[in-house]
Structure 1
Amino acid sequence: MIGVVIPAHNEARRLGRCLKAMAAAAALAEQAGQAVAVLVVLDRCIDGSAQVCARHGVETIAVEAGSVGMARRIGAQVMLERGAQWIACTDADSQVPAHWLLSQLACTADVVCGTVHVARWQPWQRGALRQLYLSRYEAREGHRHIHGANLGICARAYARVGGFQPLAAHEDVQLVRDLEADGAHIVWTAKHSVATSSRIDSRAREGFGDYLASLA
């Protein structure tokens, strides 16, 4: 089974697009014979995120972690307890391509680190900020970007290093660094780039949104 974990903190505005894209990816994987379970970890949500998940028929678990690292950790543990052999992670403000899950598995690796691209730049971002971002981003095979919005991990490798740490930020980077130290086979690919938001009022501090804000 592939266990998909999506942390969310008050993401009702964007979560529907995320889940619609995820449904397409899950359907394609299931057509290829893979079992897929999707779990949204609602972390201190006080908006309509739970209702959005219900409309899309997606399972949720509510937590009071206040930490994206803990939210991912809890979600991954639930998936592992259900027998997931592969953990796929993305974010509630992102949309995966339809071949996302199958492309991760095709890498035959312990860890697959994918790229992201901005789905829609805001009008004020389309000039110098966009150009600066693109000049610094390596959307190619062998890149060294790490994004929680586009990450896949073999369950055995994940368990060996103790999984996501309960960090407020950079839990994805810490996990990959732990896996590197453990000798995991890591593939760095741009073959299944995930579309993400260009917002700078990000829910997780020190994440992608804060990076864009720093460039601005």
Structure 2
Amino acid sequence: MIGILIPAHNEESLLDECLQAALRAASHEMLAGESVEILVVLDSCTDRSAQIVAQYPVQSLAIDARNVGQARAIGARHLLERGARWISCSDADSCVAEDWLVAQLELGTDAVCGTVTVRDWDAALDESVQIRYHQGYTAADGHRHIHGANLGVSAEAYERAGGFEALACDEDVQLVRQLERCGATIAWSHRPQVVTSSRLDSRAQGGFGDFLRNLAQVG
């Protein structure tokens, strides 16, 4: 079984699109009918996120941690206990491509670090900010970006690396560093595609939204 892991904190405005994209990826014909389970970890949600998730053929867990690393760790453990051989991570403000899972698996490595494409740039991020972002971002194979919105790992490598830690941010970076230390093979690939939000009201302090805000302040 393949597991898709999506942590969410008050994501009612973006969850529908996220889950619809994940379900399309889960039913790709090149997966040859292999079971795919989508798990949303609802972390301290006070909006309609739970009701939205309940409308889809996906699983959910409700926790009260307000910690993305802990949410990912709990979700990954749940998927492993259900027999997942591979865990693909994304975010609730992101949409994966239809061939996202296929692209990750066909790389044949222990883990895959993918890139993200920013959509609908926030009005506060003018053209100069967008230019600086693209100048510093490698949207090609061999990049060295790490995004929780586009990360895949085999069950065996995840266990060997010790899994996600309960970090408020950079839990994805921590896991990849541990994978490197234990000798896992990692594909730094542009092939698995994910489109993500450019919102500045970050759900996790120090996350992608804060990175964009800091980039705007540079100018």
Per-residue CA distance 1:23-70 (angstroms, 9 max, x = gap): 100010575232100000000001000111112232110001110000
Matches within 5 A, 1:89-108: 89-108=89-108
Partner amino acid, structure 2, of 1:113: C
- Matched residues in 1 for 2:104 and 2:33: separation? 15
- Matched residues in 2 for 1:29 and 1:164: separation? 30
| Aligned position for 1:76 | 76
- The offset of 1:215, in angstroms, is 0.5
CA contact (8 A) 1:29 1:35 kept: no
Matches within 5 A, 1:147-162: 147-162=147-162
- Matched residues in 1 for 2:179 and 2:53: separation? 32
- The offset of 1:123, in angstroms, is 3.7
- The offset of 1:161, in angstroms, is 1.6
Q: Hey, which bits of structure 1, 4+ residues long, moved more than 3 A? A: none
- Matched residues in 2 for 1:29 and 1:15: separation? 24
- Matched residues in 2 for 1:35 and 1:193: separation? 21
Partner amino acid, structure 2, of 1:136: G
Q: Alignment partner of 1:17: what SS?
A: helix
Percent of aligned positions that are identical:
54
Segments of 5+ residues of structure 1 without an aligned counterpart are none
CA contact (8 A) 1:113 1:152 kept: yes
- Matched residues in 2 for 1:76 and 1:17: separation? 22
Per-residue CA distance 1:60-109 (angstroms, 9 max, x = gap): 10001110000000000000000000010000000000000011100110
Asked whether 1:180 is paired with 2:184, we answer: no
Partner amino acid, structure 2, of 1:92: A
Matches within 5 A, 1:121-140: 121-140=121-140
Asked whether 1:58 is paired with 2:58, we answer: yes
CA contact (8 A) 2:122 2:200 kept: no
Partner amino acid, structure 1, of 2:17: R
Q: TM-score, normalised by structure 1?
A: 0.97
CA contact (8 A) 2:110 2:154 kept: yes
- The offset of 1:162, in angstroms, is 1.1
CA contact (8 A) 2:6 2:41 kept: yes
- Matched residues in 2 for 1:167 and 1:4: separation? 20
Q: Alignment partner of 2:159: what SS?
A: helix
| Aligned position for 1:16 | 16
Count of aligned pairs: 216
Asked whether 1:213 is paired with 2:210, we answer: no
- Matched residues in 2 for 1:38 and 1:191: separation? 21
TM-align CA RMSD? 1.1
- Matched residues in 1 for 2:29 and 2:111: separation? 18
Q: Alignment partner of 1:112: what SS?
A: strand
Asked whether 1:168 is paired with 2:164, we answer: no
- Matched residues in 1 for 2:38 and 2:123: separation? 34
- Matched residues in 1 for 2:29 and 2:204: separation? 29
| Aligned position for 2:85 | 85
| Aligned position for 2:32 | 32
Segments of 5+ residues of structure 2 without an aligned counterpart are none
Q: Alignment partner of 1:192: what SS?
A: coil
Partner amino acid, structure 2, of 1:175: L
- The offset of 1:119, in angstroms, is 1.6
- Matched residues in 1 for 2:30 and 2:107: separation? 18
